[in-house]
Amino acid sequence: MKRRSIVALGLVAVLASAITTATPGATKRATANNITVWLQVDAQSSWPDVVAAANQKFQSDHPGTTVNVQYQNWGDHLQKFDAALAGGGGPDVIEMGNSEMTKYMAAGAFSSLDKSSFDNSANWLKGLAGSGAYGGKTYGVPYYAGSRVVTYRKDLFSKAGISKLPATTGEYVADAKRLLAKNSTKGFSPVYIAGTDWYVALGFVFDYGGGIATQVSGKWHGLLSSPKSLAGLAAYKAFFNATSRASKTTDETHPNPYDVYAQGQAASILGPSWFTCCIGAKYKSSTAQFVMPGHVKGQSMPGFAGGSDLAVPITSSTKSLASDWIKDFTSTSSEKALQAKGNIPNATNLLGNSVNERAAARSWFVPTAKHWVDVENGNILRNMLRQILTGKLSIKQAASSASDNIESVLNQ
Amino acid sequence: MAAAAETTLHRSRRRRRFRDRAFRASTPYALIAPVVAVIGVILAYPLYWLVKLSTEKYGLFELIQHKGVSVGLRNFSSVLHDSVFWRTLLRTVVFTAVNVTLTIVLGMLIALLLARVSTYVRVLLSSGLVLVWSMPVVVAVQVFYWMTNFENGVVNYALTQLHLGDFFHHDWYASTFSQLSLVTVLIVWGALPFVAITLYAGLAQVPRDLVEAAEVDGARPWRVFLDITLPILRPILLILTSLSIIWDFGVFTQPYLLIGQSKITSGNYLMSIYLFEEGYFKSDFGRGAAISILMLLIVAVLSVAYVRKMVRIGEAAL
């Protein structure tokens, strides 16, 4: 009996060590003349020269100071940031998605910044500036915005006899049929869209006048099951089935649409305008972009008004240096360099007439709610799209359940 | 005088004897002290904080302030009233049972095979097993992910070439069942080497003459396995099964990476993923701590029941 209980006790001890979750470790603290910057990998893959130029400018203004840029992934950078906040270390500057800001500003994770000290701050893009402001203070400096456009193969379009770019989604579907007829390769997509790419799918929802959620006297109400949203979701399903041979359950990074395009398996892809970065040398000269049309002639499809802000965590020990680095990285010349890479600069006075800047004219954004980020991380929208496309649930069932889900998360 | 001297001598001898006995009695405690200290530092201290955290409201705001607000057992009651918790628990128990059974049964079969084949084949086979064992989990996940890729995975290609049907663009990640089956294949594949090699080592302890005697008496191989091999391997099987239960019940890396964050929903949670999503993604660390304590208790209950049963079988056999 005694031995048995000792065995059991020993086992419990082993279990405890196996299951106890690791406490987040602290990263090295910045010293007085060393700042750590967390940027997303986009900067590493598409505009490392802009980062290098800002670092150079910063270091010439602050001799002897080093900038340690660490590249992060969208998928887990918030978990890492949480761990850094707990450990008291972490970055001095962090890039945040504009839909991620609210939760952290509400929790007091960032130190407020002097808005007027940044270039073009009077003309910052409204949506982006709004995502970095909380309680009348500025916590996030707009870094860049992105819009979503169609990247397409001119050669394939002309081979299929398409002389005029589609002016409505209906015309686009007709063009897709012609493209399919001319390209018999198995798995070829006239328009490659990952099944659960909610940025594309919700464009249809907003195009039909629907929405995600709206706040009425302090309480959030789900809108996805409204008749207009349902019409948008039905249009998305029809468009997907007619044009894309992508997996109905995958997201827009597994695989990256531009990889599918680079392999010659897609005539067009829908996504950020910087997709041209990675379409492969082979198709560089035959690639162009156009604004995704909506279902009504003359109106473009509303695109997700994505963007990034730069913020200084409250835990930083070199806040003024951090703020100076942000100044250099969001200076007029830096923003112009970002614009040249296919991004939308952070201020209206810098805007040009490129295809992505035209596409930004009609856009939508996620509900600015403290708990919105939980909706994204909980994959509520992706799950709904998977259910709709695989036919597991009807559009109405899937949308109602997602809508209820979103409502309860936002009203927590 | 002499008598007095004698008593002093007697007393001092008695004292020495007492000291000896005390020393001898305390030796085990002295020997175990370092272990207790180490366990205290690496186990009891974090566990204390985990329990403390589980009774606090500890979100992002509290994280930045480095100070939680005590809420008693509210975290536990919120988890226990969450239907997702109960569905996840059931799914994880079934998942664990399938994984552990497959691991032990297949591991046993491989061990028996190892004992039968020629030295050359045995060396080849065990090197293969060691290679599997040495592959880092993250790399293994990536290889499995490529093999089951939707666009150009080798599994779809091979199945189509073998005329087993049209597997072009077959989506292995379309349903929860399919996702978790893939994870099971990956976990069992990764766990087999350890189990097989350990059991093979155990098989070496089965006395040859005992087996031969049974065979002379006309026992069939199955009979020999049940009545001789299995009882001798029982202690090893006990340890392997308990360890497998602990590993598989709390497994995180394989399901999380193979299924992929964007496909994780409350409909395919395993316990550790539920813990991760509720605790870290939602920045509700108090609730996360409560879930991890509940997990600890559940595995303890599962394993203790198993240990008691095994011990009882052992007693009955004697």
SS (H, E, C) A88-118: CCCCCEEEEECCCHHHHHHCCCECCECHHHC
The kind and range of the H/E element at B247 are helix B230-249
- Please tell me the distance in Å from B133's CA to the nearest CA on chain A: 19
User: pLDDT value at position A367?
Assistant: 86
Cβ–Cβ contact B153 with A under 8 A: no
- Please tell me the distance in Å from A251's CA to the nearest CA on chain B: 7
Of A15, A79, A109, the CB nearest to B303: A15
User: pLDDT value at position B247?
Assistant: 92
A85 pLDDT higher than 60: yes
Angle, alpha carbons A125-A126-A129 (nearest 5°): 80
Cβ–Cβ contact B239 with A under 8 A: no
Nearest CA in chain B to A373: B282
Cβ–Cβ contact B296 with A under 8 A: yes
Chain A residues whose CB is inside 8 A of the B45 CB are: none
3-state secondary structure of A395: helix
User: pLDDT value at position B318?
Assistant: 53
- Please tell me the distance in Å from B318's CA to the nearest CA on chain A: 15
- Please tell me the distance in Å from B66's CA to the nearest CA on chain A: 7
Cβ separation B262–A15 shorter than 8 A: no
Residues A229-239: tens digit of each pLDDT: 999 999 999 99
Nearest CA in chain A to B264: A379
Q: Is the ipTM of this complex over 0.90?
A: no
Cβ separation B168–A8 shorter than 8 A: no
User: pLDDT value at position A58?
Assistant: 95
Contact residues, B window 191-220, toward A, CB-based 8 Å cutoff = none
C-alpha closest to that of A375 among A147, A79, A103? A103
Residues B187, B190, B194, B200, CA torsion sign: positive
Residues A17-43: tens digit of each pLDDT: 444 433 333 344 444 689 999 999 989
Tokens 């497998």 correspond to: B244
Q: What is the pLDDT of chain B when averaged over all its residues? A: 89
Give the whole-number percent of chain A exceeding pLDDT 70.
92
Cβ–Cβ contact B47 with A under 8 A: yes
Chain B residues whose CB is inside 8 A of the A20 CB are: 43, 46-47, 50, 292, 296
Please count the CA atoms within 13 angstroms of the CA of A372 that sit on its side-chain side. Answer: 23
- A268 forms beta bridges with A152
Residues B105-120: tens digit of each pLDDT: 999 999 999 999 999 9
Chain A residues whose CB is inside 8 A of the B260 CB are: 251, 254
Cβ separation B292–A21 shorter than 8 A: yes
Distance of CA B126 to the CA centre of its chain: 22
Residues B143-193: tens digit of each pLDDT: 999 999 998 899 999 999 999 888 889 999 989 999 999 999 999 999 999
The kind and range of the H/E element at B307 are helix B285-317
Alpha helix (H) ranges present in A39-151?
41-46, 48-61, 77-87, 101-106, 126-131
A363 pLDDT higher than 90: no
Of B247, B250, B262, the CB nearest to A382: B262
Residues B134-152: tens digit of each pLDDT: 999 999 999 999 999 998 8
A271 pLDDT higher than 50: yes
Residues 6+ apart with CB under 8 A from A300: A291, A292, A293, A294, A358, A359, A361, A362
Chain B residues whose CB is inside 8 A of the A21 CB are: 50, 275, 279, 288, 292
**B127 vs B140: CA distance, rounded Å:** 17
User: pLDDT value at position A15?
Assistant: 45
Of B64, B171, B242, the CB nearest to A249: B171
The domain defined by A148-304+371-410 folds into: D-Maltodextrin-Binding Protein; domain 2 (3.40.190)
Contact residues, B window 51-90, toward A, CB-based 8 Å cutoff = 59-61, 63-66
Chain B residues whose CB is inside 8 A of the A109 CB are: 60, 64
**A-to-B residue pairs, Cβ atoms closer than 8 angstroms:** 136
A10 pLDDT higher than 60: no
Cβ separation B171–A247 shorter than 8 A: yes
**A357 vs A348: CA distance, rounded Å:** 10
Cβ separation A247–B246 shorter than 8 A: no
Of B42, B61, B246, the CB nearest to A15: B246
DSSP label at residue A276: G
Which of A210-219, A358-367, B173-182 comes out lowest in average pLDDT? Answer: A358-367
Stretch(es) of chain A classified as CATH 3.40.190.10: 34-146+306-363, 148-304+371-410
3-state secondary structure of A143: strand
Contact A279, A267 (CB under 8 A): no
Neighbours of A138 (CB within 10 A): 22
Helix axes B119-134, B176-203, angle to 10 degrees: 130
3-state secondary structure of A290: strand
- Please tell me the distance in Å from A371's CA to the nearest CA on chain B: 9
Cβ separation B151–A260 shorter than 8 A: yes
User: pLDDT value at position B4?
Assistant: 57
**B95 vs B78: CA distance, rounded Å:** 24
User: pLDDT value at position A28?
Assistant: 43
Contact A119, A54 (CB under 8 A): no
B1 pLDDT higher than 80: no
Contact A372, A410 (CB under 8 A): yes
User: pLDDT value at position B8?
Assistant: 63
Angle, alpha carbons B118-B122-B127 (nearest 5°): 155
Cβ separation B262–A196 shorter than 8 A: yes
pLDDT band at B316 (very low <50, low <70, confident <90, very high): low
Provide CATH code, domain B82-317.
1.10.3720.10
Provide CATH code, domain A34-146+306-363.
3.40.190.10
User: pLDDT value at position B6?
Assistant: 59
A49 pLDDT higher than 70: yes
Of A103, A245, A315, the CB nearest to B169: A245
Q: What phi and psi, each to the nearest 5 degrees, are found at residue B74?
A: -60, -35
Best mutation target, B56, B63, B65, B151, to test chain A (most A CBs within 10 A): B151
C-alpha closest to that of A402 among A383, A386, A389? A383
Q: Which two tokens stand for residue A134?
A: 């909380």
Residues B183, B188, B194, B195, CA torsion sign: positive
Chain B residues whose CB is inside 8 A of the A9 CB are: none
Cβ separation A374–B281 shorter than 8 A: yes
Whole-prediction pTM: 0.81
- Please tell me the distance in Å from B18's CA to the nearest CA on chain A: 28
Chain A residues whose CB is inside 8 A of the B295 CB are: 19
3-state secondary structure of B150: coil
Cβ separation B282–A374 shorter than 8 A: yes
